Amino acid sequence: MIAPHFPSAPCLSSLLAGCAVACATAFVGTGLATTQSAGARTHTAARPATPWFSDDFEDGQIASKWKFENAGLAQFTETNGALVITPVASGPNAIWYNDTEGPLVYQRVFGDFTVRATLHARDTVVPSAPPPQPYRLGGLLVRNPNSTSPDLDWVHVAIGGGDASFPVAVEDKTTVDSSSDFVFQSIPTPDAELRIRRRGTSFELAWRPIGAQTWTPLRTHQRPDLPVMLDVGLMAYSASTPPRLALTVDAIVFEP
């Protein structure tokens, strides 16, 4: 088990220098101090001082509260108490697959965590319909912030338009050294709660209908290559042109 933290960028260098007290108010999360060894690396975590992070996107502060990756590939809009991610680029250079990274809005997370979000995927041309397949999807993603092409590494779970066999689907994907492995599972509507739970090197993916009590497990990925510090957040992408995808996020919650 790894103690979880959410360091803000200004305090990260102070933390690594051992200034845990000075940076205490810049952490989100709870947990006892712990040490994990990964090869020659040893990671020591200080006890955080503030509650776990969540966002219901009511305050219009996404630009100040979140970090962005490849922001030019999508619009990120807070409206009516939700975050809407609308890809503006599509095709093989704008997606989360193999050696390509798409748009992402994220928090930097240290250690074990559970992240879950309530999402709706829709067609921008016919807003009452799911995004048309193939491969118009959005959801939760966990990535190694230090990985670079051709060695990109991440795990994600997403909903939207899958392929001809799974036109409305939940997607479970793991990418190791820019090689992606994914599976689809049919779902009745493109509305769901998604979850990723980290426990050490294990990443458990799950989904459930909105309002349901029981999670449906997807795959659990053993990823000892992923570091203690990860980028964790929300993404949306379309392999097909035009994008025709709007991902609406009601809320996202980080917890133990």
**Domain boundaries defined on the chain:** 1-51, 53-255
The model scores a pTM over 0.75: yes
| H or E element, residue 16 | helix 9-16
Q: Which CATH fold topology does 53-255 show?
A: Jelly Rolls (2.60.120)
CA–CA distance, 113 with 2 (Å, rounded to integer)? 9
DSSP 188-212: SSSEEEEEEEEETTEEEEEEE-TT-
Positive or negative, the CA dihedral 104, 105, 108, 114 is negative
Q: Give 87's strand partners.
A: 74
Residues 208-249 have pLDDT tens digits of 999 999 999 999 999 999 999 999 999 999 999 999 999 999
Residue pLDDT, tens place only, 143-195? 999 999 999 999 999 999 999 999 999 999 999 999 999 999 999 999 999 99
